[in-house]
Amino acid sequence: MSSITSSCYSSLILKKKESRINGGFHLQYNELKAIETVQMPASSVAYKPKAVKCGRVRAMASLAVSAPKRATDPKKRIVITGMGLVSVFGSDIDKFYNKLLEGQSGITLIDRFDASSYAVRFAGQIHDFSSEGYIDGKTDRRLDDCWKYCLVAGKRALEDANLGQQVLDTMDKTRIGVLVGSGMGGSKVFTDAVEALMQRGYKKISPFFVPYTITNMGSALLAINTGLMGPCYSISTACATANYCFYAAANHIRRGEADIMVAGGTEAFISAIGVGGFIACRALSQRNDEYEKASRPWDKNRDGFVMGEGSGVLVMESLEHALKRGAPIIAEYLGGAVTCDAHHMTDPRADGLGVSSCMVKSLVDAGVSPEEVNYINAHATSTLAGDLAEVNAIKKVFKDTSQIKMNGTKSMIGHGLGAAGGLEAIATIKAITTGWLHPTINQHDLEPQVTIDTVPNVKKQHEVNVGISNSFGFGGHNSVVVFAPYKP
């Protein structure tokens, strides 16, 4: 198996110091301009550069590069045994993916609040949601939608993994953890409390205000409802949240701290304050007269992203444990990575450096060479800067993109923020299991820099060898996870 491609690394180098260490190279990078391509040897290489200055920011470039070798220890191999979601297309996984394959837009006019005076009046809003069978009526009335989505998606994922409550009650629950994050938390509960404070005084604030607002409550409520006593917390890294959770959950399993992790993301921020806030950021499309065509990744006429919501949750399990209990194995999680742009609060690096290094690290963690990857579920939010920055990064990592297909789930369901990576991980896994890629809709005038097949407007049959799913968030948070068909 070939070594990780050097094209990504060459873009980092202006000045290079080199010495032999254990048959490899010790490299020090500073500045961000390419002057040469460095061929990494096929033998195991590790380099640990010293911290160097890059403008006013101190940066540490430290990547472990080796000839890819996938994990073989069944205790450390991680498989997906269950999936659950709440989406604009409902809570059934097959229905969700069939709608995507059909190229159907889930973007509608907002009716949750009066948006008639707003510059943006549409979103990927969930309609007719029901938690029946998963949350009791009293609790349902109190909970923020963010946590309702989490509980329903989480419990459906457990059911999909043949881990209903009766089965869970026979297992060692200290070996099963929960890691479901959110970018915004219980925003409706928060705004209701602010309104109560301003209109009626602090004594009218609900006692549920604090617990139902904080971002860790999704994981906590799911654990409380199911009795799961393993690692339980949340991660909040804006729109990269769910992938961060997958990556951290996998590492708990690899370290032997858990046999099963229930992981993903949840979000419900389509509200007066949520939409208003993103309008203020100038981040949203304002295509009110053609809202179904508003989310158009890589199209020259894109004008911002479309808000979405929901929850996507995976049951991640050590292969050893899954085989022992006869679990249904859907796909395999090979690895992942997280990095930071260290550049700007909302804008991505134009050179894609943080993103490209994240993809490289994810492939190293997965034991996968770039040549093995033939599908990318892109972050692709339909923003002017973000779409091209991601493409630039992909081109740095993958020398030959002729066999790669790349699509944008957000073109149909909008941007689910902290839930986006969860929903898109499920779309990636369904692409693996069905052999069909959903289209990127609203592709009519592609940017000339985008030379990768974006599966424009119509689904395509494609046997996925290795697929990656990208998620990036405000603050420069980058995350990539790697999936593949399960092979014993």
What SS3 string covers 57-126? Answer: EEECCCCEECCCCCCCCCCCCEEEEEEEEEECCECCHHHHHHHHHCCCCCCEECCCCCCCCCCCCEEECC
The lowest-confidence range among 37-51, 123-137, 159-173, 269-283 is: 37-51
- DSSP secondary structure code for residue 223 in this structure: H
pLDDT band of 289, cuts 50, 70, 90: very high
How much is the pLDDT for 62?
35
131: left (phi over 0), alpha (psi -120 to 50) or beta: alpha
How much is the pLDDT for 475?
87
Cβ atoms of 103 and 109 closer than 8 Å: no
- Catalytic choice (252, 321, 379, 462): 379
Distance of CA 219 to the CA centre of its chain: 17
pLDDT band of 41, cuts 50, 70, 90: very low
pLDDT in tens, 362-392: 999 999 999 999 999 999 999 999 999 999 9
Residue 289 tokens, joined: 């007269």
- Domain 80-485 CATH class label: alpha beta
Look at residue 25 and give its three-state secondary structure. strand
- Give percent of the chain above pLDDT 90: 78
- Catalytic choice (252, 321, 343, 415): 415
Kindly report whether the global pTM for this prediction surpasses the value 0.75: yes
- Catalytic choice (8, 239, 245, 358): 239
Phi, psi torsion values for 406, nearest 5 degrees: -135, 130
How much is the pLDDT for 173?
98
What 113-117 contacts at long range (C-beta under 8 Å, 24+ apart), as own/partner pairs, is 113/271, 113/272, 115/272, 115/275
How much is the pLDDT for 68?
59
Cβ atoms of 354 and 103 closer than 8 Å: no
**Residue 358 is a catalytic residue:** no
Cβ atoms of 423 and 85 closer than 8 Å: yes
Nearest in space to 37 (alpha carbons), one of 4, 7, 2: 7
Torsion sign over Cα 316, 321, 323, 324: negative
How much is the pLDDT for 75?
83
**Residue 321 is a catalytic residue:** no
- Give percent of the chain above pLDDT 70: 86
Give the residue-averaged pLDDT of 146-150. 97
Q: Is the pLDDT of residue 28 over 60?
A: no
Give the residue-averaged pLDDT of 262-268. 98
Domain ranges of the chain: 80-485
Q: Is the pLDDT of residue 55 over 70?
A: no
Measured CA distances, 70 to 260, 328, 482 (Å)? 20, 22, 12
pLDDT in tens, 101-143: 999 999 999 999 999 999 999 999 999 999 999 999 999 999 9
Q: Is the pLDDT of residue 21 over 70?
A: no
326 Cβ contact list (under 8 Å, min separation 6)? none
Q: To the nearest 10°, the Cα dihedral for 354, 216, 233, 84?
A: -80
**Residue 415 is a catalytic residue:** yes
Q: Is the pLDDT of residue 12 over 90?
A: no
